[in-house]
Amino acid sequence: MKNKHAGYLIVGISVLIGFIIYSFDHALKELVSTACSHGPSCPMWGTINLQTNISLGVMVFVGFIGLYFIFFSKEEIVTKIKTVKQQIEPKKITKQNYQKIMSDLSDDEKLIFEKILEAEGTIFQSDLVDKSNLAKVKVTRLLDRLEGKGLIERKRRGMTNIVILKH
């Protein structure tokens, strides 16, 4: 919401508060005039005046805040800022970008890592077992090693795991 519109809204609320103060003040004066026979020396009249003055002070304060927003507040210019992940171009998931990492891996680890790269960084663990032609236990242990090296991450999805390449 623009500041001027907010200012007009606040001034409108201030006017509404003024109307409510007037109606309560009028109703209280009628009640006190019928209930109190002492006239202006009755303590109820003093209470009404105090409450009315405090209410008017709050109304004027709210009104001044609204007027400030209307006349003196600067408009905020909101610009969208890309998040850090969007600003930095993500690396393409290709073997060339991961050659240095792959040179430190054993043959079986390389095979598993290549299958993850071929799947563009995300693959089900059960699919890895099928594509690598290795035993489930062997694939699990290789994934444990790769996860220990900080290269991949496994997330549980139902009855299987999703293997995700860490960038």
142 within a domain of the structure (yes/no): yes
76 within a domain of the structure (yes/no): no
Question: Vertex 14, ends 8 and 17: CA angle to 5°?
Answer: 145
What digits encode the pLDDT tens for the residues 18-51? 999 999 999 988 888 888 777 777 778 778 888 8
Specify the pLDDT at position 127: 92
Is 29 within 8 Å of 48 (Cβ atoms)? yes
Strand order in the sheet with 122-124: 122-124, 160-165, 152-157
- The total number of structural domains in the chain stands at 2
Strand partners, 154: 163
SS3 state of residue 135: coil
Kindly state whether residues 160 and 126 are assigned to the same domain.
yes
The pLDDT of residue 92 is above 80? no
Range of the domain at 38: 3-71
84 within a domain of the structure (yes/no): no
82 within a domain of the structure (yes/no): no
pTM above 0.85, yes or no: no
Residue 37 one-letter amino acid: S
Residue 132 one-letter amino acid: S
Question: How far apart are alpha carbons 154 and 164 in whole angstroms?
Answer: 6
Tell me the backbone φ, ψ of residue 80, rounded to 5 degrees: -80, 130
* 93 — pLDDT class (breaks 50, 70, 90): low
138 within a domain of the structure (yes/no): yes
Last residue of a domain, one of 43, 71, 99: 71
